[in-house]
Chains A and B, each alone.
Chain A
Amino acid sequence: MNKKLPYRCPSCENHLKVKSLLCDQCGTEVSGLFFMPLLSRLRSEDQDFIIDFIKCSGNLKIMAQNLKLSYPTVRNLLDDIITRIDSIEKQQIEEK
């Protein structure tokens, strides 16, 4: 079963932080308080888009052909992701 990594609190919608990490090889557990990486704080659709974008070498025309969407639609999706990233970065600064 493919589980999604949650990034927002189901109770108050705030961004989640990482409290512990586990090595499933030797059983070592690392505890602390870590910020989730920026990319993992994006929605899964946005993460998939970014991966596809990199695989297309940043070429929006190729992405549009692959996604069977028009060029301005794909460019608009990218602009929306940039806006969400800016918003997350602002929030990260405020949290620190």
Chain B
Amino acid sequence: MNSNLLFNPFLKIAGVKSLLIGIFVLLSASALAGLASVRFDGVIDVHFYKSENFLIPFYDNFINWGTTVIIFYLISLFTAGSSVRFIDIAGTFAMARMALIPLCLIMLFPFKKGHIPADFDHIFDWIFMNLVMFFVFIFLIWEVVLMYNAWVTSSNIKKMKANITFIIGILFSEMISKTIIVFFVK
């Protein structure tokens, strides 16, 4: 498989096409997360949750996506050399969350629903849990790489300026999305 497509599919796909794919990705990831009792209470957060409300991951995902799109679009107005299309930011950042799908599939493994128990009976339970967590981190890193490439491709900001604006964007998105989720999503 072409590594470019894996880490930067936005060279080929952006605009409305990426938005349609991205919305499908958000809905799929949210549905899988609901089944696995996983929520995304922040742009780069993943936690188990105890609730019968299947819709919580849907609220989380769309709040996270919306926050990143608004924050990064605002940053692009002040930092990009040429005009940036809102649809490109919205679509590529939605598509960037495709790493959440395999992440949720991994977390469907049979942990006790809603939480990781403190009283694992066997050492293999701990090994298994750590293996799952390892893959969760791998997919989270992939998600961050996808978001970075979405940002660079949509804005044409390069090198150090891209790194700094991305870090600022992610930090502000995380703070704001987390605040919104904590206060409004229950």
Contact = CB atoms under 8 A, between A and B. Distances in A.
Interface residues of A, number: 10
B152 to A, nearest CB: 9
Contact of A71 (B14, B81, B82): B14
A80 B153 CA distance: 13
Contacts of B28: none
Contact of A73 (B14, B81, B82, B85): B14
Contacts of A73: 10-12, 14, 153
Interface string A17-51: 00000000000000000000000000000000000
Interface in B13-31: 13-15, 18
- Give the one of A72, A75, A80 with max B CB within 10 A: A72
B10 A70 contact: yes
Contacts of A80: 156
Interface residues of B, number: 14
Contacts of B88: 71-72
A2 interface: no
A72 B13 CA distance: 9
A14 interface: no
A87 B71 CA distance: 32
Contact of B15 (A68, A70, A76, A79): A70
18 contacts: A68-B12, A70-B11, A70-B153, A71-B15, A71-B85, A72-B85, A72-B88, A72-B156, A73-B10, A73-B11, A73-B153, A75-B156, A76-B153, A76-B156, A79-B81, A79-B82, A79-B156, A80-B156
A86 to B, nearest CB: 11
A69 interface: yes
Interface in A52-85: 68-73, 75-76, 79-80
A69 B11 contact: yes
B84 to A, nearest CB: 8
B154 interface: yes
Contacts of A75: 82, 156
A68 B85 CA distance: 19
Contacts of A71: 14-15, 85, 88
Given A71-B85, A73-B10, 5 more contacts: A70-B15, A72-B15, A72-B153, A73-B12, A75-B156
B77 to A, nearest CB: 16
